[in-house]
Structure 1
């Protein structure tokens, strides 16, 4: 039995002061009022969940698809407080996809915080490709999707695609096989996006980036996401991909349907995605903005400090909301009895102090 005594705890959507948390066998057994109160100011949060990240610690997974790479990425993300993540692959060749899938299949028996794969492409709209390589973009065929999922053997958890360019049978097959579909890199109009959400597409990739915009006579994808009762959306809250004022609006409208991703990449000088760090962001060789340089904790701080989002709401955007999307909210994403003891301890300034994965402390250095 492990006990954290007299600590503030974020649970059930709010912060409770002076609590005692008991951990046993990697799970939370009890949360009660602390007996001894000495006013220590530490806050215990659920571990962060990042459903779209490309690499860390100098390893871009698609450029170096190996067991060593995914171990290094896992270790670095744990040290940052990200206790669950999907490793993301941008539009690429079938060979690269197969290499990456093979590694994750082999690794999953040893995986800790890596939950599987998010395929961002290649079935996107070239008109909204962003930093994606145009030559690799294509329309999906049902046979290709069947082969891809068969080869993936359950490791492919999420896929970003442009629904306006895909056949309904492709979308339905993915949904029937429990792949979360995210509408993204898409030029769908309001009606097409709404139809896609109605068909069962659950979420939206990096809202406002690489998609049809909001215009007063052409509402675009963001308006469809705003107006739909169930559609969720991710956002990159670095202030560069989307202005903080726009994040404010999205948070006010979407509430618990909005969640944070880092979309983080790392320095890479090989392959089709060569990311270079410039002034706190990553760009491609031609200057196109690519992934972010953010951590999940910094993303939360930006929401609180720049976007008028309350701390409880910002925490949920990085924990409970994405957990609900992947249907794991009873296991991760919140500090409740019987949930995994994936926890992040921060101080009053929201600076990282400790990380615990299934109750075991992670060395930060």
Structure 2
């Protein structure tokens, strides 16, 4: 298949006019002009932008199903929904639950990687919880919070080698950084749901933390006398940070500042739960807790924000509306998350040899078509 006359976002994340040839689900050629025979499948993309497929590395659920359902049907449902939103790869994300429930959920993700679902590709697990701080648990269930337990984590990792791409930890619960230092050898370690101050965050980064889960949320705020996690992240080039760009979790002004400071260290995630894509006002579930959605905001009964009901396509459009350049917004939802899980050699940008995960956008940034094999 050949796409011609495209306004293509190239591997340097600059738009340019180009043709692209796809063969066997891979990008075979990108050129200013590609020749083709009359019998070949050729799509004229005049007037449209072609960008990489979006990569969501932090998503609990959507369209009525959740990672912790631990069934193939649930992940299949998520995959089918996400592909319609331009998401071509995602990491189903677990929650703080019993060890048995976490293992069952990870096994299910592994099974869906071995025997792929239809729709967006399942590319690994984001293990959010149970190694978090109760004081900053957010919408996680306190009953199952435990201290960082490397033996348990290693057992799960070894059972399904390579499936866990991210694991979260509150560094104040990790004595001498023992968990971080060992886990970093297996996957990306993320600081999350924490009471850590600036000094402890810097120490955790020294130990091996290279990722921050939903920056600003479930952690202390940034101030001029106590910069906290945010201040440490701003100045330390060794760490990337997730941002939820639904307009509820982070004010647009703060998003603009964050993208200016972090640049290519900011990555967009949805952190969505099962209510994403469904009607508001009804009662939903997140980790065994009731959630209500009103005016685009999902909350527990006590008012705690409970994930989101957004998706990466919607967030990219929000960022552009908030004043972030389109190229930067797309890069933050494609290549940067792909790097965070070590898959940037396969997905995340339009480059010869990579998977041909493409999204076609019109002038209003509406999705016209998604290509993913």
Contact 2:59/2:93 (8 A) holds in 1: yes
Q: Distance in 1 between matches of 2:5 and 2:144?
A: 54
Shift in alpha-carbon separation, 1:35–1:335, aligned structure 2, 3 A: closer
Please state if 1:218 is matched with 2:234: no
**Aligned-pair CA distance for 1:275:** 2.7
SS in 2 for 1:196: helix
Please state if 1:303 is matched with 2:319: yes
2:18 alignment partner in structure 1: 19
Shift in alpha-carbon separation, 1:175–1:14, aligned structure 2, 3 A: closer
Contact 1:259/1:322 (8 A) holds in 2: yes
Q: Distance in 2 between matches of 1:130 and 1:39?
A: 45
Q: Distance in 2 between matches of 1:286 and 1:39?
A: 49
**Aligned-pair CA distance for 1:100:** 0.6
1:257-276, aligned counterparts within 5 Å? 257-267=265-275, 268-269=284-285, 272-276=288-292
Q: Distance in 2 between matches of 1:322 and 1:263?
A: 13
In structure 1, stretches of 5+ residues that fail to align are: 359-365
**Aligned with residue 72 of structure 2, among 58, 62, 67:** 67
SS in 2 for 1:274: strand
**Aligned with residue 170 of structure 1, among 179, 194, 202:** 179
Please state if 1:9 is matched with 2:36: no
Task: Report how many residues are paired.
Answer: 354
1:284 alignment partner in structure 2: 300
Contact 1:13/1:312 (8 A) holds in 2: no
Contact 1:205/1:233 (8 A) holds in 2: yes
Q: Distance in 2 between matches of 1:327 and 1:182?
A: 14
SS in 1 for 2:290: coil
Q: Deviations over 1:310-340 (max 9, x none)?
A: 1111110000111122222221000011110
Q: Distance in 1 between matches of 2:230 and 2:237?
A: 13
1:249 alignment partner in structure 2: 257
Contact 1:105/1:153 (8 A) holds in 2: no
SS in 2 for 1:107: helix
In structure 2, stretches of 5+ residues that fail to align are: 36-43, 276-283
Contact 1:20/1:32 (8 A) holds in 2: yes
Please state if 1:104 is matched with 2:113: no
Contact 1:59/1:69 (8 A) holds in 2: yes
Q: What's the TM-score, normalizing by structure 2? A: 0.90
2:281 alignment partner in structure 1: none
SS in 2 for 1:275: strand
Q: Distance in 2 between matches of 1:321 and 1:269?
A: 30
**Aligned-pair CA distance for 1:87:** 0.4
Q: Distance in 1 between matches of 2:59 and 2:8?
A: 27
2:148 alignment partner in structure 1: 140
**Aligned-pair CA distance for 1:270:** 7.7
Contact 1:8/1:15 (8 A) holds in 2: no
1:108-119, aligned counterparts within 5 Å? 108-111=113-116, 113-119=121-127
Q: Distance in 2 between matches of 1:200 and 1:22?
A: 40
Please state if 1:54 is matched with 2:60: yes
1:42 alignment partner in structure 2: 48
Q: Distance in 1 between matches of 2:286 and 2:266?
A: 34
**Aligned-pair CA distance for 1:71:** 1.1
Shift in alpha-carbon separation, 1:270–1:347, aligned structure 2, 3 A: closer
SS in 1 for 2:354: coil
2:85 alignment partner in structure 1: 80
- After TM superposition, the structure 1 stretch with the greater mean CA deviation from structure 2, 105-114 or 42-51, is 105-114
Contact 1:256/1:317 (8 A) holds in 2: yes
* CA RMSD across the alignment: 1.9
1:30 alignment partner in structure 2: 29
**Aligned-pair CA distance for 1:281:** 1.7
Q: What's the TM-score, normalizing by structure 1? A: 0.92
**Aligned-pair CA distance for 1:154:** 2.7
Contact 1:13/1:316 (8 A) holds in 2: no
Q: Distance in 2 between matches of 1:202 and 1:299?
A: 23
Contact 1:183/1:204 (8 A) holds in 2: yes
**Aligned with residue 217 of structure 2, among 209, 222, 228:** 209
- After TM superposition, the structure 1 stretch with the greater mean CA deviation from structure 2, 119-128 or 94-103, is 94-103
Please state if 1:125 is matched with 2:124: no
**Aligned-pair CA distance for 1:184:** 1.0
SS in 1 for 2:30: strand
